[in-house]
Structure 1
Amino acid sequence: MPSGPTHLFIPGPTNVPEVVRRAVNVPMQDHRAPDFPELTGSIFEDLKTVFANSTGRVFVFAASGTGAWEAAITNTLRRGDRVLMARYGQFSHLWVEMATRLGLDVVCLDVPWGEGVPVDQYAEHLAADPGIRAVFVTHNETSTGVTSDVAAVRRAMDAAGSEALLFVDGVSSIASIDFEQDAWGVDLAVSGSQKGFMLPPGLAFLSVSLKALEANAAVDGTVDGTDRAMSPSYFSFASMATANDTGYFPQTPPTQLLHGLRASLDLLLDEGLPQVYARHYRLAEGVRRGVAALGLDLCATDPAQYSDTVSAIRVPHDVDSGDVVRIAYHRYRTSFGAGLSKLAGQVFRIGHLGDCNEVMCLAALAAAEISLNDAGAKIELGAGVAAAQAHYSQHYLEETR
């Protein structure tokens, strides 16, 4: 009989801290009770702090991040609106697919997987087409381990004089990687509970700027004699705002997850968001040095865009990354992320976000090494772990001088 836990190193859902697990384990309560707003009011305010949104508001839906994608689109755009998007990984691809299904006129730029958002191409399209109503960016592409420069996209929009809304998928970045909604001019920022927020799946967060709220107020009605509004019901901003302003929700909320969110926000804010971001960089850099010491490459092609939450690692040409993932799980009780879509068989992914520390990352590298070895990769066992150890130890020594 196997002993010990199965180690979780996927880029989401992530490990849930014990204090958050305890916070979720509470009796069911009345979500219409007079004191319920004592819980929700502080959550709404502290979520704004995490998103760095000082003037707008954050909606919390009982959904996955995909629900927040849909809420963002259906509340602010009309069918037929022309939008600028790019595909550079599985999740940016899925957002394009959703936008198309919802009836948007999608201008889609295809980029090699491993690169980030094509800022220069965006700038060209924005300069040539003032009719673009929205620009979409996947901040951290979870399938490739690439973090794109959202601020650069905003600069390109401003240089072109674009009045478009800026949509950002921050599901695997927000609460782990620096995110500045106000400073970057982001109008709609999407995230979910199961990654940097260190909760089980089930909550979708959508942080909305004043400009996006104004767009929502104006989206109903006819344009050119036709009604192209999407008119969401479950995801309606208006319904949610009316209820949230009194501390409640228009539907039954997952109250246990809200208690867990309160505990998670306490952890993030007590550590300090700059310290959270610095920790993620430190841990990620150790993993990256370990990968390099094994003679392997990341899927991300530009070091400036390496993700601090997930590393997608290319396996040798004669190795199937699916075998690495299966061996790790069945022999060594360790879960890694598989390569998705066109990267299937080519990469496996180590998630190093949320409730994570140095020894956990060393364990992930050790499991990766032995699984790669068993799958036939010619690597030096221990080389990756040693490189990461040296990085973590050196950082500690420098910090304590």
Structure 2
Amino acid sequence: MSIANGRVLLAMPGPTNIPDRVLQAMMRPAEELASKTIVDLTETLLADLKAVFRTPGETFLYAANGHGGWEAALTNVLSRGDKVLVLASGRFAIGWGEMARFMGADVEVLAGSWRAAVDPAAVEERLRQDRDHAIKAVLTVQIDTASGVVNDIQAIRRAIDAASHPALYMVDGVAALGCMPFDMDAFGVDVAMSASQKGLMTPPGLAFVAANGKALHAHRQATMRTPYWDWTARMDPLLYMKHCGTPPEHLMFGLRAALDMILAERLEAVWQRHALLAAATQAAMSKWAEGQALSFNVVEPSQRAPSVTTILVDGDPAEVTDYAREVCGVTLGLAIGDLTGKAFRIAHMGHVNAPMVLGSLSAVEMALQAKGIPHGEGGVAAAIAYLGANAREVAA
């Protein structure tokens, strides 16, 4: 018998739960595309995206998903034939590199692991070998939602600097922005991109790119540029040019509400909330792993993402995800890429609090019990104990 009637809970790594306030902000008539409302909305969004990316550089907003953000970042700073170094730690840096190759870049992948973060020492070694500075850009992700790995963006920057290499440092922050510390300028990132449907709590359909002065200089020399993504056109003061046509008004109204929520909570508090909920999820998983049928995909605890936990299963992970969805109304994430059929994912990102995460964990524990999957008992209790001990200190 199903007990799923009630509000469906998304515990998949995007799209994520959308706040009622965001949905309500979108429930309004369309505006004339050059109205003061839309002009002001565009300006405030671009300004507040700078605050979220933590940069005084230029920000750009696109009607696109994260893959569109990838393309926007690439086309604006590269020329066909440019060499790009991709740092692998799962599926998504590889995907970004595949896009660059399709667009005419010469792509080299620095081999990594689906179970560990990028090794900065390996990055430094490879860049030292590039004495002619043929490599024009280094691409990585801060969080790979397929593997659940979080990369040390600052350590990679230090590796690039240690090699005295001038390559552009380009970071995918789709699963990190609004979920964990990201400071574009302090981290030494030249181009960063993200999207709306994860930590920024807005429906899919918006992509964001931020660029510093070094990136804008490269942009002026780039020959891969195309009209829709072009930064020069979008820096025009005319609103129509900033959007290359009609703005995605209703998504922008939703994003405005989401950013208002994030800034009211304070970005540092948002990061801390994600860290606490991730640690609670990991406490539950550590108990379940005692049964030997489940294990963390990411071996080193410090390399586990604060927005998603990827869990390897000795058996069919669909037994867990199907039960959670059909019986409990909780949508977990199935694994993708190299982990297809081997794992499932629990997201704890965006518009999420302790009861929501505990509900997701309860659905998993119910599934493990119902399906006879060996597991240590008391996972949810361990998560509650962790939050009880640590969230209290935050509130005090």
Report how far residue 207 of structure 1 moved. Answer: 0.8
- My pick for the range that moved more, 88-97 or 264-273, is 88-97
SS in 1 for 2:295: coil
Match of 2:89 in 1: 88
Match of 2:10 in 1: 8
Alignment of 1:148 onto 2:151 = yes
Alignment of 1:272 onto 2:266 = yes
> Which of 179, 186, 189 is the equivalent residue of 2:189?
186
C-alpha distance in structure 1 between counterparts of 2:151 and 2:175, whole Å: 12
Distance 1:367 1:327, change over 3 A: same
C-alpha distance in structure 1 between counterparts of 2:388 and 2:16, whole Å: 25
Distance 1:300 1:259, change over 3 A: same
Distance 1:14 1:42, change over 3 A: same
C-alpha distance in structure 2 between counterparts of 1:400 and 1:231, whole Å: 49
TM-score normalised over the length of structure 1: 0.93
C-alpha distance in structure 2 between counterparts of 1:93 and 1:337, whole Å: 20
Alignment of 1:74 onto 2:75 = yes
> Which of 313, 324, 331 is the equivalent residue of 1:335?
331
Distance 1:214 1:321, change over 3 A: same
Alignment of 1:138 onto 2:141 = yes
**1:261-300 to 2 correspondence within 5 Å?**
261-295=255-289, 296-300=294-298
On the 8 A contact 2:11/2:331 being kept in 1, the answer is yes
C-alpha distance in structure 2 between counterparts of 1:281 and 1:324, whole Å: 25
- My pick for the range that moved more, 100-109 or 283-292, is 100-109
C-alpha distance in structure 1 between counterparts of 2:115 and 2:173, whole Å: 17
Report how far residue 36 of structure 1 moved. Answer: 2.5
C-alpha distance in structure 2 between counterparts of 1:180 and 1:34, whole Å: 31
Report how far residue 338 of structure 1 moved. Answer: 0.3
Distance 1:28 1:286, change over 3 A: same
Distance 1:390 1:34, change over 3 A: closer
C-alpha distance in structure 1 between counterparts of 2:143 and 2:318, whole Å: 23
Report how far residue 245 of structure 1 moved. Answer: 7.0
Match of 1:353 in 2: 349
Match of 1:160 in 2: 163
C-alpha distance in structure 1 between counterparts of 2:207 and 2:50, whole Å: 14
Percent identity of equivalent pairs: 38
C-alpha distance in structure 2 between counterparts of 1:285 and 1:340, whole Å: 23
For structure 1, the 5+ residue unaligned runs are 220-228
Report how far residue 188 of structure 1 moved. Answer: 0.9
> Which of 218, 234, 245 is the equivalent residue of 2:228?
234
Code of the residue aligned with 1:132 in structure 2: it is: I
Match of 2:221 in 1: 218
C-alpha distance in structure 1 between counterparts of 2:247 and 2:117, whole Å: 36
Match of 1:209 in 2: 212
SS in 2 for 1:32: coil
Report how far residue 112 of structure 1 moved. Answer: 1.9
For structure 2, the 5+ residue unaligned runs are none
Report how far residue 164 of structure 1 moved. Answer: 0.7
C-alpha distance in structure 1 between counterparts of 2:108 and 2:196, whole Å: 30
SS in 2 for 1:107: strand
On the 8 A contact 2:114/2:149 being kept in 1, the answer is no
Match of 2:375 in 1: 379
Code of the residue aligned with 1:270 in structure 2: it is: A
Match of 1:196 in 2: 199
SS in 2 for 1:88: coil
Match of 1:21 in 2: 23
Distance 1:244 1:9, change over 3 A: farther
Distance 1:5 1:397, change over 3 A: closer
On the 8 A contact 1:37/1:247 being kept in 2, the answer is no
Q: Deviations over 1:23-60 (max 9, x none)?
A: 11111111112442221111111110000012x11100
Report how far residue 264 of structure 1 moved. Answer: 0.8
- My pick for the range that moved more, 78-87 or 284-293, is 78-87
Point out 4+ residue stretches in structure 1 off by more than 6 angstroms.
Answer: 244-247
TM-score normalised over the length of structure 2: 0.94
C-alpha distance in structure 1 between counterparts of 2:242 and 2:225, whole Å: 22
On the 8 A contact 1:51/1:207 being kept in 2, the answer is yes
Match of 1:394 in 2: 389
C-alpha distance in structure 2 between counterparts of 1:372 and 1:117, whole Å: 32
How many residue pairs get matched? 388
Code of the residue aligned with 2:218 in structure 1: it is: A
Code of the residue aligned with 2:107 in structure 1: it is: V
